[in-house]
Amino acid sequence: MKKYLRPGNFLIAAVLAWAGWLLFDWAVLQAVFRPDAAACHALQGNGACWGVVTEKFRVILFGRYPLDQQWRPLVALLLMFGLLGASAMPRCHGKRLFTAWGVGLLLVLLLLKGGLFGLDNVDTPRWGGLPLTLLLTLFGLGGAFPLAVLLALGRNGRLPVLRSLCTTFIEIIRGVPLVAVLFMAAFMFPLFMPKGWEFPALLRVLVGIILFAAAYMAEVIRGGLLAISRGQHEAAQALGLSYWQVQLTVVLPQTLRNVLPSLMNSAIALFKDTSLVIIVGLFELTGALGLAVDGDPKWRAFALDGYLFIAFIYWLGCFAMSRYSRALERLI
């Protein structure tokens, strides 16, 4: 107990309390929450202007999606949150959860795209905001994980040609920034396609994100594979198990349990990296805010307040993913 009563600890606590009070005063007590640009300008920086969020909330949340159809991305957003919530409850785990994810994501795509069941067709360039951020994250992780497992097994395997191919792919992708991968997917990939073949920019970008995330996750999984002793492989083979039976029933369960924190770290990084798709013309959560304030002189001066709100959303997402990872660690 005495170590907590040292003068230095009191000083640090006093500084943190003072900083916390200043932040609370700026963000809450002196802040303007109503959509009143004149009141925000009158603050002269002495308080936060959350009115920009109130005024531009629908654009921030849904981007350029048609105003009269924004109930569709809202329902899609609630559906994705529902699936994530169900995944966080151990009693929901099992085959039914996988089925729910498959059906749920198909419904999300149907809601956003339309064209069926009387829903107006909305092209993918008009998708945006938080639904697009979550969609890129979920599909990116869902596509990258199985590819990462195959790459890790291939690079750790005994077949020289396959090992060389997997190693080359991983090292090339990890050697370039995600920005370069997105540019290649958005602008260079169509040049190599046969004439008349067209893929939406969103699909091309999603493929780039999957390949980029898979390369990093593959090295995380490979590290876990190397931690499994060779004796377990030999014992399983001695029981008559095939290569894939050994991997699926003995090696991979232990590997994924050991590397779960690192895999969640990759997932958190991917969630934040989706903000880079703005450079190829897709207005996800961060890009939607720029779209909302850049064209409005009344609110342009308060873009920083809007970005703080966006940062808070990202923090909530990352914190929730971190807590989910901790829960899984205790569960398994």
Share of the chain above pLDDT 70, in %: 97
- In this prediction, residues 5-32 reach a mean pLDDT of 81
Of 281, 129, 272, nearest to 205 (Cα)? 281
Residue 1 has pLDDT above 60, yes or no: no
**Per-residue pLDDT reduced to its tens digit, 230-289:** 888 778 888 888 888 888 888 888 888 888 889 999 999 999 999 988 888 888 888 888
Query: Where does the chain have alpha helices with state H?
Result: 7-24, 37-43, 51-62, 71-87, 95-113, 129-155, 160-174, 178-183, 201-226, 230-238, 243-246, 252-258, 260-273, 285-294, 303-331
Q: Where are the domains of the chain?
A: 122-331
**Per-residue pLDDT reduced to its tens digit, 174-211:** 889 988 888 888 877 777 777 767 778 888 899 999 99
Distance CA(57)–CA(51), nearest Å, equals 9
**Per-residue pLDDT reduced to its tens digit, 53-100:** 888 888 889 988 998 899 999 999 999 999 998 888 878 888 888 899
pLDDT of residue 7: 64
**Per-residue pLDDT reduced to its tens digit, 98-124:** 899 999 999 999 999 988 888 889 988
Compute CA distances 187 → 179, 184, 215, 269, whole Å: 12, 6, 21, 24
Distance CA(8)–CA(42), nearest Å, equals 40
- The CATH class given to the 122-331 domain equals mainly alpha
Distance CA(325)–CA(264), nearest Å, equals 6
Distance CA(151)–CA(210), nearest Å, equals 13
Confidence of residue 5 (pLDDT cuts 50, 70, 90): low
Residue 2 has pLDDT above 70, yes or no: no
pLDDT of residue 6: 65
**Per-residue pLDDT reduced to its tens digit, 145-172:** 999 999 999 998 888 899 999 999 999 9
Share of the chain above pLDDT 90, in %: 34
